[in-house]
Structure 1
Amino acid sequence: MKRKLLFGILLLLVLKIRGQEHNSRFSLGFSYGFGSEFNNRNYTFTNHFYKVQLYYKVKETKRFQYQILIQPEINFAEHQLLNFYFVKPETPNYQQKRDEYTQLKDIREYVLNCGFLVRKPVGKVCSFYVLGSIGPMITDTETERMSKGFAFADVLALGFTAGYDNFRFDIRPSVRHVSNAGLGSSNAGYNTKNIEFGILYQL
């Protein structure tokens, strides 16, 4: 009798924990993505990046879910100036800078993106969503388009998620704009199209 009672209590505890996990508002994920600039004749820019993602479900209605997303990111990019006339003669030491900027450069960007996401569930395992995010960024390399140091990364994305148990698999095409809002001497910035693939777990 005691064994049956103990087994029953343990079963209720497991079911309660499972229920709490299922109803958790938090999800933790990881993603990898890559992209390049929109076609132009002035410069090249290719990148790949890694993100750690923390989702928090703010609200859920019959049709939509609303989430906050925080995602630290490290971005590895390559950039080269193609049109050296972009550096104008009135720029101090313009010839030296033309020579410097037309060399292929490796760039590291360290970003903390904070976003808001509206998700539309489709059935029990799939969903579509729209995401907008903005975040502070540090870039380690000066180019003709942007000064070294502090900047911002803005992202607009559409996504599709499919789930199995507590896991979710995610694909997300996006457009990204990087600039420093005039805080540096150069602020032309970069515009890229990207796609990323991720996996997340509902805590």
Structure 2
Amino acid sequence: MTKKLLLVSAFLFVCMSANAQQADKKYRIGLSYGFGSEFNNKDYTFENHFYKAQLYYLIKETKHFQYQILIQPEINFAKHQLLNLYFVKPETHDFEQKREEYTKLKNIHEYVMNVGFVVRKPIGKIYSCYFLGSIGPMITDTETERMSKGFAFADVLALGFSANVKAFQFDIRPSLRHVSNAGLGSSNAGYNTKNIEFGISYQL
């Protein structure tokens, strides 16, 4: 599944890059890597690292701001474990069996298509800071006490800082991430994580 997603992402980026070459500096492609963990709590542990391909499109530029659309296919690798077995309540069907199952350490793979909006403030000719908000559909391959296996959504809010070196742009981006399935599955407590992300992109 991971190899297929990477091949599809690479194919989409080749197609988009070919079209982007016809535009005048509206497109930027890149890659990023990030990692994070849950906010401290007594119920569960969750730590993750992830890889994203990135396509920026400049919608509008004013004297003080730039507005961009950001498309980010993502693969997220996480480890999760239930700590508080009483989170699974006795009224849950087969609750003792589920407590035993959910308290085991689990490896989770998430496949996400993030679509975001960026408001960027240039600082001189080299630096800029920005706000990013994104949401995207997601497939998760593992059921836990907090979320059902299958379809869900990933929401991200981030503040970033960039530095331009010729056609390249280097990014650092702290972020907050919430994952849930909007009530489409039987379990929907979701996960909340704090992350840090590092990226590089290239101006086409």
TM-score by length of structure 1 reads: 0.89
Give the alignment of 1:1-203 within 5 angstroms: 23-203=24-204
* Distance in 2 separating the partners of 1:38 and 1:150: 23
Task: Calculate percent identity across the aligned residue pairs.
Answer: 77
* Distance in 2 separating the partners of 1:187 and 1:49: 22
Moved segments of 4+, more than 2 Å: 20-23
* Distance in 2 separating the partners of 1:63 and 1:21: 26
* Distance in 2 separating the partners of 1:53 and 1:22: 17
1:56–1:67 Cα contact (<8 Å) kept:
yes
What is the CA RMSD across the aligned residues, in angstroms?
1.2
* Distance in 2 separating the partners of 1:176 and 1:194: 7
Residue ranges of structure 2 left out of the alignment (5+ in a row)? 1-20
1:152–1:181 Cα contact (<8 Å) kept:
yes
Residue ranges of structure 1 left out of the alignment (5+ in a row)? 1-19
Q: Could you report, residue by residue, the CA deviation over 1:97-156 in whole angstroms, capped at 9, with x for unpaired residues?
A: 000000000000000000000000000010000000000000000000000000000000
* Distance in 1 separating the partners of 2:128 and 2:85: 46
Q: Could you report, residue by residue, the CA deviation over 1:56-103 in whole angstroms, capped at 9, with x for unpaired residues?
A: 000000000000000000000000000000000000000000000000
Q: Could you report, residue by residue, the CA deviation over 1:178-202 in whole angstroms, capped at 9, with x for unpaired residues?
A: 0000000000000000000000000
Match of 2:8 in 1: none
1:30–1:51 Cα contact (<8 Å) kept:
yes
* Distance in 2 separating the partners of 1:57 and 1:85: 49
How far off its partner does 1:21 sit? 9.0
* Distance in 2 separating the partners of 1:163 and 1:21: 22
TM-score by length of structure 2 reads: 0.89
**One-letter identity of the residue aligned with 1:63:** H
* Distance in 2 separating the partners of 1:51 and 1:66: 20
1:114–1:133 Cα contact (<8 Å) kept:
yes
Match of 1:4 in 2: none
**One-letter identity of the residue aligned with 2:152:** A
Count of residue correspondences? 184
* Distance in 2 separating the partners of 1:164 and 1:38: 35
Match of 1:9 in 2: none
> Larger Rg: 1 or 2?
1
How far off its partner does 1:24 sit? 1.0
1:21–1:202 Cα contact (<8 Å) kept:
no
**One-letter identity of the residue aligned with 1:192:** T
